[in-house]
Structure 1
Amino acid sequence: MFSPFERMVAGRYLRARKAEGFVSVIAGFSFAGIMLGVATLIIVMSVMNGFRQELVTRILGLNGHINVYSLSAPLEDYSIMKLQIGDVPGVTSVSGIIESQALMTINGYSTGVMVRGMTRDDLMKKPVLSDHFIEGEPADFVGYSAAIGRLMSEKLNLKIGSTFTLVSPKAKVTPFGGMPSSRTFTVAMIFDVGMYEYDSNFIFVPLDAAQAFYQMGKAVSSLEIVTKNPQHLNTVKRDISLITDGVAGVYDWRDNNSSFLNALQVERNVMFLILTMIILVAAFNVISSMIMLVKDKGRDIAIMRTMGATRRSMMKIFILTGASIGVVGTFVGTALGIAFALNIESIRQFLQGLTGTELFSEEIYFLSKLPAVIDWNEVIAVIAMAFTLSILATLYPAWRAARLDPVEALRYE
């Protein structure tokens, strides 16, 4: 595609002499701009992918893929419905749960919490929970016991064996009127799932204890369904809706978290668009540096033309010169971005130790670690976009060089 002559001349133009230092400086800034733009785009998109994957993984690990809620009252006789749903192709498990709010009081301090009642077997089927118990034994999860998060235990100074009181929002009828229902629970296990909302606000209790506490008898508030593929639920959801038609509503994890997932997608798209501007600005720098190079090398171009070089050769020389800046900048930026994304948590810890500030707050970002997941399709798209912009940026300066008239260029030499 490029002859040895064209490669030689382009290489000489890239290695500018002292007299052409200003052109070289602009070319260097163009290289740095493309490198930083590509690296920043890969890093930010990897972090956005990491956020989505970590949050979705934890949401799916702590909640069912599909939930069946009663349209009016708690699900009283749900055993037949549970068996029917369990036979639906794609369903791996169905379990009854109780989930409701309560007021937690300890040593005069009160705070609102979310209480989830489920059996010990169902609790241990969730790897996100069962693999992250840092204290306590599953065998102790019986009676009026509870599993709480690490942040809640630290905030309220609760340890294994500590007790606290839960007050139900549902009043208990007495001869003296409605009285709040309360019960004392014992901390049996402490978990740390790395998600602020759950580690600080959720309490898991045995299903029978939750039924007694909320005065629900043998009923449950919903059925939690786990499927083989949480990303493709439409067919399973439709089959379950036929079973529960008129009795209960069916909602999947996408319905329950739609606003959150949409916000992530919008933010991801906007960040991609904004950071693409960095590469675009760097491409304009390439145009500037190449136009100045053509202006500076007008005499050389004229001499090469008079010695037999064609306009096509002149155009290819300057395309190769400008594209080399973009290609090398893209490759270096890609390597830098991938290396940064793969070690982003270590880099964050280092910067926090260096500056003494918290760069990634659990309360704001919901995660205890900064995640990054590299999507290689996105990396390829970024590389292709940077290549394309780099080559397009060289076309006009190369065309100017090819159109240069040797007579006019040498007239005043």
Structure 2
Amino acid sequence: MLAQWRLAWLLARRFRRGRERSRFLSFISASSTFGIALGCMVFIVGLSVMNGFGQVLEERFLKLVPHVEFRAVEGALQYPEMILDLAHQHPEVKAARASIKTQALVQQGREFIGVQVNGIDPRQSQAIADYMSTTAWQQLAGDNTVVLGRGLATQLGVDKGDSVRLVVAAERGFQAPKRVSLKVVGIFRFGGQVDHQMAYVNLATARNLIGLDEGYTGVELEVTDLFAAERIANDIGYQLRDYVYLDHWMRAQGHLYRDIQMVRVVMFLVLVLVLAVACFNIVSTLVMTVQEKRRHIGILRTMGLRRGGLVKVFMLQGLQNGAVGVVLGGIAGVALSLGLPSFLQLLESMSGSSILASDVYFVDSIPVLIQLSDVMLVAAVAFLMSLVATLYPAWRASRVEVVAAISA
């Protein structure tokens, strides 16, 4: 059995590399290999970029976005301690902390820039602390202090030590908006929209901004399983005595995750079609080879090679084209994925413009994450399609009549 496959492999190599092959047939064969390699390369790069976006969303962006949030309908929460106790007792909650959030305008001359002000407790562990200096994090505990995002600070033209004036609308009635001057004690750089939209203050400053004497306006939870956030929110929410707005990240930011998954699916379908077109060249190559090698086929049949052996020969010939394309495309795809961030940075520095505008997208650079499972999936799909493409030409080769082939 092994000897039969070895003979079929040697004959397939001979047919594929034979000197008597026409130049046009050689071109068609090379184009099929090139098409498969190109499809595999683009497929791997595309999946790696989508993996990178997913990783940034899950491991970076969602560290700043609360996985689950309970917000007071009006004013402060009446029973925040109850929410915190229930959260700490839940086995799938990693952390729970009180917060105060409000929308404000930062005055810059005669212009106003919208900003989301997050009141946090600097004594507790916060993900944003990793993106600012230790000094800024410590000074945030002081009175009337604020830490701004890099994009927002640049837009305002302020730096550490300067002051900014915030205008906050009154919570009730038609009172005049409140104006508060805050000292900038630090600048954080997270990347993307966060740098242009966020400002952080301590809880006391946040209470002063919205006119609260005590308490909190919300409780934020960090959960162990991101995709169980809705269920966890419902588990805790049904036990509360407070009237709250129940929110979770899938409702607020889930469109980003769904968009990434949709692009992956669309990319998969499009690139499978690209590989199908490339594999169609294998069909053309083998059909033309069958016509060109009719005499050789007839001679092999008279020497005792059975129809099944001919099928193996032409299947292996097509698979050789596919295998070469898969290997070259896989290597090129991994290499291009590894070098893509550096290449895009060079392109941005040469053009002077950013590919991803940081004030529009949640990231400001193209992330890449290569996964072995994706590379293996691409290789398997391309190899399988190459195998399917060989079936019809191999069947045609096995149906060639011996007498007609020799006398032709």
Interval containing the TM-score (normalised by the shorter chain): over 0.9
Shift of 1:323: 0.7
1:130 is the counterpart of 2:129: yes
Relative distance call for 1:357 and 1:140 in structure 2 (3 A) is: closer
Distance across 2 between alignment mates of 1:265 and 1:170: 41
Partner of residue 17, structure 2:
15
**Aligned with residue 87 of structure 1, among 86, 89, 93:** 89
**Aligned with residue 301 of structure 1, among 286, 297, 302:** 297
Alignment of 1:253-402 (within 5 A): 253-353=249-349, 358-402=354-398
- Contact map agreement 1:172 1:181 (CA 8 A) in 2: no
- Contact map agreement 1:136 1:190 (CA 8 A) in 2: no
Shift of 1:233: 3.7
List runs of 5+ in structure 2 lacking aligned partners: none
Distance across 1 between alignment mates of 2:266 and 2:376: 19
Distance across 1 between alignment mates of 2:290 and 2:359: 55
Shift of 1:263: 2.3
Counting aligned pairs with the same residue, the percent is 29
Alignment of 1:124-203 (within 5 A): 125-127=125-127, 129-133=128-132, 136-141=135-140, 142-170=142-170, 178-194=175-191, 196-203=192-199
- Secondary structure of 1:399's counterpart equals helix
Partner of residue 214, structure 1:
210
Partner of residue 98, structure 2:
96
Size of the aligned set, in residue pairs, is: 405
Distance across 2 between alignment mates of 1:354 and 1:333: 28
Distance across 2 between alignment mates of 1:138 and 1:178: 34
Distance across 1 between alignment mates of 2:375 and 2:207: 51
What do the CA deviations read for 1:135-182 (whole angstroms, capped 9, x no partner)? 853221121110111111222221111111100122687xxx721111
- Contact map agreement 2:334 2:370 (CA 8 A) in 1: yes
Distance across 1 between alignment mates of 2:89 and 2:134: 37
Relative distance call for 1:294 and 1:47 in structure 2 (3 A) is: same
Relative distance call for 1:118 and 1:153 in structure 2 (3 A) is: same
Q: Which amino acid aligns with 2:12?
A: A
- Contact map agreement 1:89 1:236 (CA 8 A) in 2: no
- Contact map agreement 2:57 2:257 (CA 8 A) in 1: no
Distance across 2 between alignment mates of 1:355 and 1:278: 31
Partner of residue 113, structure 2:
111
Shift of 1:226: 1.8
Shift of 1:389: 0.4
List runs of 5+ in structure 1 lacking aligned partners: none
- Contact map agreement 2:54 2:260 (CA 8 A) in 1: yes
Distance across 2 between alignment mates of 1:3 and 1:212: 82
What do the CA deviations read for 1:6-57 (whole angstroms, capped 9, x no partner)? 2221111221326522111111100011011111111101111111220232
- Contact map agreement 2:77 2:216 (CA 8 A) in 1: yes
- Contact map agreement 1:85 1:243 (CA 8 A) in 2: no
Distance across 1 between alignment mates of 2:268 and 2:33: 20
Q: Which amino acid aligns with 2:228?
A: H
- Secondary structure of 2:370's counterpart equals coil
Q: Which amino acid aligns with 1:379?
A: V
TM-score, reference length from structure 2? 0.92
TM-score, reference length from structure 1? 0.91
Relative distance call for 1:355 and 1:178 in structure 2 (3 A) is: closer
Distance across 1 between alignment mates of 2:15 and 2:21: 12
- Contact map agreement 1:135 1:190 (CA 8 A) in 2: no
- Which shifted more, 14-23 or 47-56? 14-23
Q: Which amino acid aligns with 2:327?
A: F
Relative distance call for 1:68 and 1:345 in structure 2 (3 A) is: same
- Contact map agreement 1:116 1:203 (CA 8 A) in 2: yes
Distance across 2 between alignment mates of 1:161 and 1:247: 40
- Which shifted more, 343-352 or 299-308? 343-352
Q: Which amino acid aligns with 1:317?
A: V
**Aligned with residue 58 of structure 1, among 57, 60, 63:** 60
Q: Which amino acid aligns with 1:191?
A: F
Relative distance call for 1:311 and 1:357 in structure 2 (3 A) is: farther
- Contact map agreement 2:102 2:118 (CA 8 A) in 1: yes
- Which shifted more, 22-31 or 230-239? 230-239
Query: What root-mean-square deviation, in Å, do the aligned CA atoms of Structure 1 and Structure 2 show?
Result: 2.2
Q: Which amino acid aligns with 2:311?
A: M
Relative distance call for 1:336 and 1:54 in structure 2 (3 A) is: same
- Secondary structure of 2:355's counterpart equals coil
